[in-house]
Structure 1
Amino acid sequence: MIVGVDVGTSVTKAQLVARDGRTGPAHEARSTLYTLPGNRVEQDMDEVIGTVVTVVRAAVADAAQFAPDEPVEALALTGQGDGLWLRDARGRPVGRALSWMDGRAAPVLEGWSADGTTDAVFRRTGAGMFPGAAGPLLAHLAAHEPDRLAAAETAGYCVDALTQRFTGERTVDASDASVPFLDVSTRTYDDEALDLCGLSDWRGLLADPAPPGTLFGLLPKVAAELGLPAGLPVSAGPFDIPACGFGSGLEKTGQGNLIIGTTLACQVLASDPAPGSGEPAGMVLATPYADRYLRVMPAMIGTAGLDWLLGMLGVRIEELDALLAQSPYGAGGVTALPFLSTSGERAPFVDARARGRLDGLSPLTGRADLVRALCEAVAYSARHCLETLGVAGEITACGGGARSGEWGRIFAGVLGRDVHVREDAVGIRGAARVAWDALGTAPEPPASSFARVSRADPDAVAFYEDGYHRYLDTLEKARQSW
């Protein structure tokens, strides 16, 4: 069995995954997300690592009862991507980690958008930058805190920060390194992209990506803390978006996956790393598999915006399905733009000024209409992202929002096709799959890995076809006003 770990933005989870596909109890620990003036969002690296120790120890304690005949074969890590986790030569933090939600570098990105830098980098690497991406954050620190960069040996990410602390290795997974400076076809950094961003002098802070199939060994001291054997293989990545894709069963090119979580991550498996011809947004990721790439649109508009609206209305998340069922297609004439992140939007377009709105309100509007309008708008955005990516096959869904049957039916209606929903431990399953592949002992997948299928109702498909085009028209006009 595998001990899988998924380090989310504020919650770290760990559980066991057996070879027959069963998962053990999920153990969770929360970490602090510091939201500060100046659109800064930070985390304490040591606190995050402490949450990993806590949940891994709890998961390991389940092993004897969960699968007594299976040994623990590896520790598989996945977690949040993007942001900037600066570390010194010993892997200690150089200040707090800058979250992917951080917005301090928005002025840098605005300048790069105006002078063509973002477009030029996108054409070279397929990475559409946003304020919380490593490129703008590095440039911001180079301009405002150069001493901090000088004190660091590595400018990395969450998963490789854990890997260095647990194994002593300075490394990075190719999926994390893909944004924004990696040539994903060669898995080497594009020096021209670094130069375009004025960051050539800081090239040494970027660890070279580990080759596919690389495993590391658990340090004895850390192993004792975790309750695992010294030298146990450690699989370090991919980060959470591709891990969820592979945990949901992405295998054929053209297949798509929705992660309806804090953000709405839309991804399509591709055999071609070309970034496409659209706006410089989204990303093309290297994966653990040769000649397989993920085209990703990680929109900022997932369940966080819904949580905000439910809180404003005094509605519990457990009431979501019942509330959605009370409002008809089109939410009684109420429509929404779902851009409720303080750092704006990053897919399928990038605009730090993007903001949400509700239209069509009247004295007849109820709470159910407001909630349904927002849920429909998120689904419209998902279609916008997936069409930009070129989805051509089956669509799977996972994440907290995928647990809602009513919202799932909205997604199916808007997308015009059935959505296959996977609910449990998807990121951890993906990380475990990568670990088993690296070990060369991958088990056969279970015959059925989906909790249910959200069916596309023909009447809903017809209604939402018109609604989607109205959404695009409203969005285009709103972008001119932002």
Structure 2
Amino acid sequence: MIVGVDVGTSVTKAQLIARDGRTTPPHEARSTVYTLPGNRVEQDLDEVVGTVITVVRAAAADAAQLDPNEPIEALALTGQGDGLWLRDAEGRSVGRALSWMDGRAAGILDGWAADGTARKVYERTGAGMFPGSAGPLLAHLAAHEPERLEAADVAGYCVDAIAQRFTGERTVDASDASVPFLDVAARTYDETALELCGLTRWRHLLAEPAAPGALSRLLPKAAAELGLPEGLPVSAGPFDIPACGFGSGLSEPGQGNLIIGTTLACQVLSEDATPAGGKESAGMVLATPYEGRYLKVMPAMIGTAGLDWLLKLLAVRIEELDALLAQSPYGAGGVTALPFLSTSGERAPFVDARARGRLDGLSPLTGRADLVRALCESVAYSARHCLETLGVSGAVTASGGGARSGEWGRIFAGVLGRDLHVREDAVGIRGAARVAWSALGVGIDTSAAEWQTAARTVRADPEAVTFYEAGYEAYLRTLAAARESW
């Protein structure tokens, strides 16, 4: 069995998973997201590491629930990507980590968009940069806080920061390293991309990507803290988006996956590493642990976060969502929405720090159900926009908190015009565990019953498909006009 850990933006989860797919209940611990003036969003590495220790100790104590005679084989880590987690040579944080939601570098990115730098980097690496990605954040610190970069030994990400604390190794998973400077086919950094961003001086801060199948070992102090054996293998990556894709069952090129979480991550498995965003310079191409397989990803900024905002505004509990959606017809009584409710704008399938949300078509007849349904429909339209840009051609799976809603799932299926295969369990942890077992040389039969029991299929209703086809075209027209006004 494996202890799997998923370090989310505000919640860290851990649970045991057996080779046959059985799991123990997850343990959770919350960490603080500091939202500060100037569109700054930060986290404290020590606090995040503390949440990992808490949930891993709790999960490890559950081993007897699965099989008291089977050992724990590895610790498998996944978690949030992007942002900038600066550390010194001992793995200590050099100031608070800059979150992927941070917007302080929006001005730098605007300049790169205007002078063609962003496009040139995109053409080389397939990485559509946004304010919270490592390139703009490094450039911002180089311009405004160079002393932090001078004090750092590594500029990395959440998962490798935690792995360094536990193993002492300075490394990074290739999926994290893919954005924005990696030539994902060669799995080496593109020096020209670094030069274009004016960051050649700081090249030494980038850890070399780990080889596929790489494992580290728990240090004695970390093992004691975690309640695990000293020297236990540690698999660090891929980060949460690809981990969820593989945990949801992506295996053949053209298949798609939606993660309806705080963000709306849309991804398609591919055999080539060419950028998918076209003239928009959006999205990213990720290296994966599997030879000849790449993930093309459009990670839209807002998924359930926008819905949470609206439900709070309307004083509606999340448990009421399905009943509320059922009260409003297709098209939400004429109310339409744009779902761009992040303070740092949007990053997929286009990049614009000025993107903002809208509600249109309001009248005295509009009720709470119409407002909520309009926003949920707009998120589904955004998902279709992303998946079509990525070139989806096969089955689509879904996971994340939003996928638990039966009514919202039916909206997604109708808008996408295809059945949606939903997994409600910890798909990120499943994906990370599968990568760890592969590194250990253990083949996993994912056709086993326990690997499949958490899946359900949401059928696309023909009437909904017809209605939403016209609705999607209207959404695209509204979006095009809004982009001019932003």
Range class of TM-score, shorter chain = over 0.9
1:79 corresponds to which residue? 79
Report the residue type matching 2:203 in the other structure.
R
Q: Residues 192-231 of structure 1: matches in 2 within 5 Å?
A: 192-231=192-231
Distance in 1, matches of 2:69 and 2:432, equals: 22
Give the match for residue 94 of structure 2. Answer: 94
Query: Where do 1:174-185 residues align within 5 Å?
Result: 174-185=174-185
Structure 1 CA distance for aligned equivalents of residues 381 and 470 of structure 2: 11
Match runs of 1:22-101 below 5 Å:
22-101=22-101
Deviation at 1:278, TM superposition (A): 3.7
| Of 258-267 and 219-228, the range deviating more from structure 2 | 219-228
1:434-482 deviations in Å (ceiling 9; x for gaps) = 0001101132113425431111000000000000000000000000000
How far apart are the structure 2 equivalents of 1:449 and 1:375?
27
The match for 1:434 is 435
Question: RMSD across aligned C-alpha pairs, in angstroms?
Answer: 0.7
Partner of 2:310: 309
- Counterpart code for 1:471: Y
| Greater mean alpha carbon deviation, residues 65-74 or residues 471-480 | 65-74
1:336 aligned partner: 337
SS in 2 for 1:420: strand
Q: Conserved in 1, the CA contact under 8 Å of 2:425 and 2:454?
A: no
Q: Distance in 2 between matches of 1:174 and 1:335?
A: 40
Question: Deviation string for 1:274-323 (max 9, x for gaps)?
Answer: 00334101100000011100000000110000000000000000000000
Of the structure 1 ranges 333-342 and 66-75, higher mean CA displacement relative to structure 2 is found in 66-75
Alignment-derived partner of residue 417 in structure 1: 418
Counterpart selection for 2:467 from 463, 469, 479: 463
User: Cα distance, 1:68 vs. partner?
Assistant: 1.4
| TM-score w.r.t. length of structure 2 | 0.99
* Residues in 1 aligned to 2:9 and 2:65: alpha-carbon distance in whole angstroms: 30
Instruction: Please state whether the residue corresponding to 1:244 is helix, strand or coil.
Output: helix
Contact 2:22/2:66 (CA < 8 Å) preserved in 1? Answer: no
Taking the aligned partners of 1:131 and 1:194, their CA distance within structure 2 comes to 16
Equivalent residue for 1:474?
Answer: 478
2:333–2:366 Cα contact (<8 Å) kept: yes
Q: Which runs of 5+ in 2 are unaligned?
A: none
For the residues of structure 2 that align with 1:42 and 1:236, how far apart are their CA atoms? Answer: 22
1:227-246 superposed matches below 5 A: 227-246=227-246
SS state at 2:13 partner:
strand
Shift of 1:25: 1.3
3-state DSSP class of the match of 1:289? coil
Q: Distance in 2 between matches of 1:442 and 1:343?
A: 42
Deviation at 1:66, TM superposition (A): 2.6
Q: C-alpha separation between the residues in 1 aligned to 2:316 and 2:92?
A: 42
Residue 5 in structure 1 maps to residue 1 in structure 2? no
State whether residues 285 and 295 of structure 1, in contact with CA within 8 Å, keep that contact through their aligned partners in structure 2: yes
Give the CA deviation at 1:80. 0.2
Q: Give unpaired runs (5+ residues) of structure 1.
A: none
What is the CA–CA distance in structure 2 between the aligned matches of 1:300 and 1:226, rounded to whole Å? 33
Q: In structure 1, how many angstroms separate the alpha carbons of the residues matched to 2:414 and 2:109?
A: 36
Is the CA contact 1:278–1:388 (under 8 Å) kept in the aligned structure 2?
A: no
Letter in 1 for 2:101: M
**449 and 396 in structure 1: CA distance in 2 versus 1, 3 angstrom threshold:** farther
Residue identity matched to 1:33: V
Amino acid in structure 2 at the alignment position of 1:451: A
Asked if residue 121 in structure 1 is aligned to residue 121 in structure 2, the reply is yes
Q: Who is 1:191 aligned against?
A: 191
Secondary structure of the 2:280 match is coil
1:172 paired residue number:
172
Judged with a 3 Å threshold, the aligned counterparts in structure 2 of structure 1 residues 90 and 98 are, in CA distance, closer, same or farther, namely same
Q: Distance in 2 between matches of 1:476 and 1:119?
A: 20
Offset from partner CA, 1:371-427 (integer Å, 9 cap, x none): 000000000000000000000000000000000000000000000000000000110
1:260-299, aligned counterparts within 5 Å? Answer: 260-276=260-276, 277-299=278-300
1:322 and 2:323 matched: yes
Which amino acid letter does the alignment assign opposite residue 384 of structure 1?
H
Q: Work out the CA distance in 1 between the residues paired with 2:68 and 2:327.
A: 48
Alpha carbons 1:323, 1:368 under 8 Å: kept: yes
Look up the match of 1:130. Answer: 130
For residues 150-176 of structure 1, give each alpha carbon's deviation from its aligned partner in whole angstroms, at most 9, with x where no partner exists. 000000000000111000000000000
Provide the rounded CA distance (Å) in 2 between the counterparts of 1:124 and 1:423.
37
Deviation at 1:65, TM superposition (A): 2.6
SS in 1 for 2:252: coil
2:24–2:65 CA contact under 8 A, matched in 1: no
Post-superposition Cα deviations, 1:99-128, rounded to whole Å, max 9, x if no partner, equal 000000000000000000111000000000
What is the deviation of 1:67?
A: 1.9
CA deviations on 1:155-214 (whole Å, 9 max, x unpaired) are 000000011100000000000000000000000000000000000000000000000000
- Give the Cα–Cα distance (whole angstroms) in 2 for the partners of residues 361 and 429 of structure 1: 43
Could you say which residue in structure 2 is the equivalent of 1:398? 399
Other structure's SS at 2:21 match: coil
Alpha-carbon displacement from aligned partner over 1:61-101 (angstroms, at most 9, x marks no partner): 10023321221000000000000000001110000000000
Q: Separation in 1 of the partners of 2:210 and 2:18?
A: 26
Asked if the contact 2:5/2:77 (under 8 Å) is kept, the reply is yes
- Normalising by the residue count of structure 1, what TM-score does the alignment of the two structures yield? 0.99
Partners in 2 of 1:67 and 1:239 — Cα distance?
28
- 1:429 Cα deviation from its structure 2 partner: 0.4
Contact 1:420–1:450, Cα closer than 8 Å, also in 2: no
